[in-house]
Homo-oligomer: A and B are copies of this chain.
Amino acid sequence: MLHAVNTAQLKDQLLDAHDRIKPYVHRTPVLQSTLLNKKVGALLFFKCENFQRMGAFKMRGAAHAMLCLSDQQKAKGVVTHSSGNMAQAVSLAAKTQGIEAHIVMPQNAPQVKKDAVKDYGGIIHISGNNISDREKMAKQLIAEKGLSFIHPSNDLEVILGQGTAAKELLEEVPDLDVLFTPVGGGGLLAGSAIAAKTLSSTCKIMAGEPQNADDAYRSLLSGKIETNEQANTIADGLRTNLGHINFPIIQALVDQIHLVSEEEIISAMRLIWERMKIIIEPSCAVPFAAVLKNKEAFENQKIGIILSGGNVDLSKLPF
């Protein structure tokens, strides 16, 4: 499955994507913490996508995918299926661009998430709880209404949009030694890998992944897309699998994936909350957990970490 990846072309596409989405997303701040630097023994640069519009980097990919639609496609509307951040991202990005957004959500999605989608103007369609129920309903809506499907991670325009966070971080800290992201569906990792490998000649790209949902780690080893039989992790954004568009990019460009335990994720999350006074979701703590776990390997290096999102249910915290 190893395809040749045309990095020169991807670099141009990434720069174009960033120009396109700038008016639709926040340029999020890069924070540092003296205390966490000391704890790790390295210089950490946290790119705060938890402060992004709707609270996560997904806004970038959703906005970019919609900006790449034709006028005719925009007039008909878009659809996605998600119970998480992508549902909110597609709703808000569509609203900002005057596009109708249809969101297929499983019956058992929390009311708070349904309310958020409604707040952003998304039209909710309730499906059964299985992933196949959702896909079936999305296909039906596409057939009926001619909607364009926005995939949360396995779509080149989405991948390029997600990569713009890493581009901004590298503009502020051009001499990063390593750039870290979480890996779930693979969109953020693939996009960030394009940024790291085309905008720097030395920056490594790595990911943190939960041991309990280690499909990407195993995929890099086996050379084909692996899946999880179970994905029993608190990092709910990372339970999904890679796709045929992002996997070749990840395979060609990513240097390493580090696995972390549930305890390591919770402890890293708590450290960021307590020391940096910012709210991040469990998925977002995974790359920092990986850096903490392997700190000897990163001594005195400049490490960028994409803090992917901050949407947590405050009444269900793990501490």
On A, residues with C-beta under 8 Å from B are 29, 34, 50-51, 53, 55, 270, 273-274, 276-280, 310, 314-315, 317, 319
The residue on B at minimum CB distance from A319 is B314
Q: Which of B51, B273, B315 contacts A279 (CB 8 A)?
A: B273
Contact A277 B317 (CB under 8 A): no
Contact A314 B274 (CB under 8 A): yes
Residues of B within 8 A of A55 (CB): 277
Residues of B within 8 A of A279 (CB): 273, 277-279
Q: Which of B29, B278, B314, B317 contacts A270 (CB 8 A)?
A: B314
A19 to chain B, nearest CB (A): 22
In the complex, which of the residues A55, A276, A277, A279 has the most CB atoms of chain B within 10 Å of its own CB atom? A277
A selection of 21 A-B contacts at a CB cut-off of 8 Å is A29-B29, A34-B53, A50-B277, A51-B276, A51-B277, A55-B277, A270-B314, A273-B279, A273-B314, A274-B314, A277-B278, A277-B279, A277-B280, A277-B310, A278-B278, A278-B279, A279-B279, A314-B317, A314-B319, A315-B319, A317-B317
Residues of B within 8 A of A270 (CB): 314
Task: Provide the bound-state CA to CA distance between A29 and B32, in Å.
Answer: 12
A272 to chain B, nearest CB (A): 10
Residues of B within 8 A of A53 (CB): 34
Given contacts A274-B314, A277-B278, A317-B317, 15 further A-B contacts (CB under 8 A): A29-B29, A34-B53, A50-B277, A51-B276, A51-B277, A273-B279, A273-B314, A277-B279, A277-B280, A277-B310, A278-B278, A278-B279, A279-B279, A314-B317, A314-B319
Residues of B within 8 A of A276 (CB): 51
Task: Provide the bound-state CA to CA distance between A270 and B112, in Å.
Answer: 14
Task: Provide the bound-state CA to CA distance between A310 and B280, in Å.
Answer: 15
Residues of B within 8 A of A317 (CB): 314, 317
Residues of B within 8 A of A51 (CB): 276-277
Task: Provide the bound-state CA to CA distance between A211 and B279, in Å.
Answer: 29
Task: Provide the bound-state CA to CA distance between A278 and B276, in Å.
Answer: 9
A36 to chain B, nearest CB (A): 13
The residue on B at minimum CB distance from A55 is B277
A228 to chain B, nearest CB (A): 28
A74 to chain B, nearest CB (A): 23
Residues of B within 8 A of A310 (CB): 277
Residues of B within 8 A of A315 (CB): 319
In the complex, which of the residues A34, A50, A53, A274 has the most CB atoms of chain B within 10 Å of its own CB atom? A274
The residue on B at minimum CB distance from A33 is B51
